[in-house]
A and B are shown apart, each in its own frame.
Chain A
C-alpha cells in the first residue's frame, strides 16, 4: 500500500524518564487494509517460492534454501575452518620448518610438533618430523596461519569432519598435508600475495634438508621414483657446470657418512638381537650414498644444463657404490647369524642381496670393481624386488656396454633402492 506517512518526533519528560513520541500523522489505512496487505505479501512469497529460487537478495521472493549435501554455497576465500599444512607439488617439500610459532600462539594449544633431525649428525633440520593438530579442540581462530613466517600452515575450507571415532579428529602430518595447488584453488588471491616469498623461503630451506627429510609422506614414493628416473636418464659426460661442484660435495659427504655408518656398524659388537639397528644404519648409509650420487645427478639435472659428471663425481659415485655394497655385505654378515630371529625370518630378502655382494672387490681396478659391485647390487636389487614385490622397473639388467661410471652409478642407485626397500619392509614388519 502506498500510504504516505509523515513522522514527527517530539520529546517529553515523564515520571518514567524521557519519552519520544512519534507522531505518525493520520494513516490512510482503512480497517483491515493492513491485514489484507500482509496477506498479499505472504501470498506473493508463497507463489514465488513455488516457482523460483532466490538468486540475489534484491529479488526478495523465492526459495532461498540451499539443499546442502547436493548444493553448496561457494565459500568465501577468507573462510576458515581448520588449519592444514602445505607442501610443494613438484618437489614434495613441506613448507613447514618447525619453527614452533604456531604451537606457541595457539590459544587452545592443540598444535604439537617435533623437529626433524639429521639422523647422521643428530642436528636439527628445518623440517618437521611429526605434526599433530587436535581438530576437536581447535577453535578455528586462524592465528596459526597468521603467525606462520613460512606460509606453511593455512586455514582450510573443508568442514565436514564429523566422525564417531574417538580421537579421530587428532590429525597427523600425513593427514594435514595438502599440496599448494589445493590451497591455490580455494584461496587464489591469498596465495598469490605470499607465493613468491613462500617459495623463496622454501628453496632456502630445501638446501638444508638432507635426503628425503622434509618431503611430505604421501609424496616420498613419488619423489624417489622421480629421482631414480632422473638418475637413470642422466646423459653421458659433458663439460661440467658450476653446479656440479656442490653436488659433488654432497656426494662426498654422503660417502663420508656411509663410512661413518660402516664404522658404527663395525664398532657395534652386539650380535643377533641387536643387529637390527646396525643393519639399519648400514642400510641407511648405503641409501645416503646412493642419494648422494643421485643428488649429484639430480642437481646437475635440475640446472638443466647438459648435466655431466666430472671425474671426481664419477669417482665419488663409484666409491659410494662400493661402500654401499660393503655396508650391505657387512650387514648381511652380521645379520646372518641372526637369521633365526623373527625380524630376519620375515624379511629374508634383506640378507640375501648383501650376501650376493660379498666377494670383495679390493684387488680389482676401481672401474671393474664398480661394475662388479653394480651388477651384484643390481642382482640383489632384482632379487629383493622379486621377493618384496617392488617395482620391477628398478631391476632392469645393467647394460654391459655402458660406460663404467654410469653403470656404477646405476648400480649404486639400484643397490640403494633395493636396500631401502628391504629396509622399508623390515621397518614395516618391525612396527
Chain B
C-alpha cells in the first residue's frame, strides 16, 4: 500500500505522511472488511439457524432479508442509552470500548490474501492470543461497572471461561509454531503449499521439465538447512490434512468456540439463566458494540484457525497464477483472498451448525472438557508435532545418531512422519476418551455415610 501510494503521489507529500496515510488506509479497509463481514454474519446466522429449525428467518427487509442488519443497526442507534443509577459511570462507559478495541487489533496481523498483509509481526500468533485475552478485562469491567448481579455473574463466567480455554487454544497453536518454526502468521500459508497429506514433498525431478503451473519454489522451513525446492503445488498442503494438524485444528476450533462464546459454550450470556450476562445493563449502541466485538472476535478466530490449519489463503490455482507473473499476481491475490474468506465462512457455518445442534454446557462440564480432554490432547499433539518436525527435517546429527533418515526422499520421510504421528494421536485420543468415559468408581466409607444419612 505504501509503495502504491508512493508511486501515485510520491512527490506531492512528505514521505512520512505517505506512510501514515497508507497505514490509515489499510486500517480503514480492514475494519470495513470486518464490519461488512459482521453484518453479513448476523444476517447469515439468523437465516441459517432458522433453516435448521425449519423456519425462514428474517426475509422481509430487502431482498431475502439482506437489509435486516441495517434495520437492526438503525434500531440500535435510536435506542435510549441507559446507565443504571448506581453503576460506575466511567467503567460502564469504557467497558464496551475495551472489549471491542483488542478484537479489532487482532485483525491487523492476519494475512488476508497473497501479499495482502496489513502488518508483519514475527510474534503474530502470540499477539493474537494475547490481544484476545485483553477483551476479558472489558467484560470484567462491564460486569462490575453495571452494578448488577447477573452482569457480574456473567462477567465472572466469561472471564473464567476465557482464561481456561486460552490454555488449550495456545497449546494447540503451539503445534503450528513447532511445525512452522516461528510465530509469524505471514509465513503460514506459504508453508501450507503442496498436496494433501504429503505437503510440499513431491519434488520435481527435472527442473526444466516442470510446469510452473504445477510446481513452485517452496522454502519448506525458515531457518531450515534445506534449500528452496521445486515441489508439486496444488495449494492443498494444509496442515489439517496431517494427523498433527487435524488434532490441533479440532482442539483449537473448540477452544475458539469457547473464547468466542458461541453455543454450546455460551455460558457467560446464558439468557435462560442470567439474562444476558455482562451485557444485561447495556442498551443501544453500547450493547451493539459488545455484539460487534463478539462477532468480529469470531471472525478473527475463524481467520486464525483458517490461517493456522486450513492453509489460510492457500488454495488450488493461487500458486500457478502467481507463477505466471505480471498482472496475474493480482488475480492470484484476489483468488487467495477469496479462498480465505470462503474458509472463514465455512468455519462460521460450522459455528452456526453447532449452535443449531447442541444445547449449552454446564459450567462443570465446560471446565472438565477443557482440562480433562482438550488440554491432554493438545499436549500429546505437541509431542507429535515435535516428532513430525524431527522425522521430516532433522539430520541424523540432530537426532544424535539415534535415528537416521538421511537416505530417504522427502516424501518418504513425510509418509513415515504422518504414520507415526497418526498412530500416536489416535492412540492418545482413544486413551484420553476412555479415561474420561470410564464410570467413576465411587469410594466411600460406608459407616460414615450411613451415619450421615
Contacts and interface: CB of A to CB of B under 8 A. Distances in A.
A335 interface: no
Nearest to B59: A67
Contact of B56 (A32, A38, A39, A63): A63
Contact of A63 (B48, B55, B433, B453): B55
A63 B357 contact: no
Contacts of B123: none
B404 interface: no
Interface in B27-64: 48, 50-56
A77 B353 CA distance: 40
B55 A65 contact: yes
B437 interface: yes
Point out which of B50, B56, B353, B354 has the most chain A C-beta atoms below 10 A from its C-beta: B56
B356 interface: yes
Contacts of A45: 51-54, 356
A46 B453 contact: no
- Main secondary structure on chain B at its contact with chain A? helix
Interface in A14-30: 14-15
Interface in B348-404: 353-354, 356-358
A15 B453 contact: yes
B453 A62 contact: no
B54 A64 contact: yes
Contacts of B354: 39
A39 B353 contact: yes
Interface in A227-285: none
Contact of A46 (B51, B433, B436, B437): B51
B51 A63 contact: yes
Contacts of B356: 42, 45-46
A38 B359 CA distance: 11
Contacts of A46: 48, 51-52, 353, 356
Contacts of B353: 39, 42-43, 46
Nearest to B52: A46
Contacts of A63: 51, 54-56
Nearest to B434: A31
A49 B362 CA distance: 30
B51 A50 contact: yes
A15 B358 CA distance: 34
Interface in A180-228: none
A14 to B, nearest CB: 8
A361 interface: no
Contact of B357 (A15, A38, A67): A38
A10 to B, nearest CB: 17
B56 A67 contact: yes
Contacts of A14: 453
Point out which of A31, A41, A42 has the most chain B C-beta atoms below 10 A from its C-beta: A42
B357 A39 contact: yes
Contact of A31 (B50, B53, B433, B453): B433
Contact of B54 (A32, A35, A54): A54
Contacts of A67: 56
A54 B356 CA distance: 19
A35 B264 CA distance: 12
B111 to A, nearest CB: 30
A43 B374 CA distance: 25
Contacts of B53: 45
A177 interface: no
Contacts of A62: 54
Interface string A33-62: 001001101110110011000100000011
Contacts of A64: 54-55
Contacts of A35: 357-358
Interface string B88-129: 000000000000000000000000000000000000000000
Contacts of B358: 35, 38
B54 A49 contact: yes
Nearest to B48: A46
Nearest to B452: A15
Contacts of A32: 433
A50 B52 CA distance: 9
A70 to B, nearest CB: 11
Interface in B402-453: 433, 436-437, 453
B437 A49 contact: no
Nearest to A16: B453
A31 to B, nearest CB: 4
Nearest to A67: B56
Nearest to B56: A65
Contacts of B436: 31
Contacts of B48: 46
Given A31-B433, A63-B56, A49 B357 contact: no
Point out which of A39, A41, A50 has the most chain B C-beta atoms below 10 A from its C-beta: A39
A271 B56 CA distance: 74
A43 B352 CA distance: 11
A64 to B, nearest CB: 5
A46 B57 CA distance: 12
B88 to A, nearest CB: 42
Contacts of B52: 42-43, 45-46, 49
B54 A42 contact: no
Nearest to B352: A46
A42 B357 contact: yes
Contacts of B56: 63, 65, 67
Nearest to B437: A31
Nearest to A30: B433
A64 B356 CA distance: 17
A49 B165 CA distance: 34
Contacts of A54: 54
Interface in B310-361: 353-354, 356-358
Contacts of A31: 433, 436-437
Nearest to B359: A38
25 contacts: A14-B453, A31-B437, A32-B433, A35-B358, A38-B357, A38-B358, A39-B354, A42-B356, A42-B357, A45-B51, A45-B53, A45-B54, A46-B48, A46-B353, A46-B356, A49-B51, A49-B54, A49-B55, A54-B54, A62-B54, A63-B54, A63-B56, A64-B55, A65-B54, A65-B55
Interface of A: 14-15, 31-32, 35, 38-39, 41-43, 45-46, 49-50, 54, 61-65, 67
Given A39-B357, A46-B51, 17 more contacts: A31-B436, A35-B358, A38-B357, A39-B353, A42-B353, A43-B52, A45-B52, A45-B53, A45-B54, A46-B48, A46-B356, A49-B51, A49-B52, A61-B54, A63-B56, A64-B55, A65-B56
Instruction: Give 4 nearest A-B pairs by CB, closest first.
Output: A49-B51, A42-B357, A31-B433, A65-B56
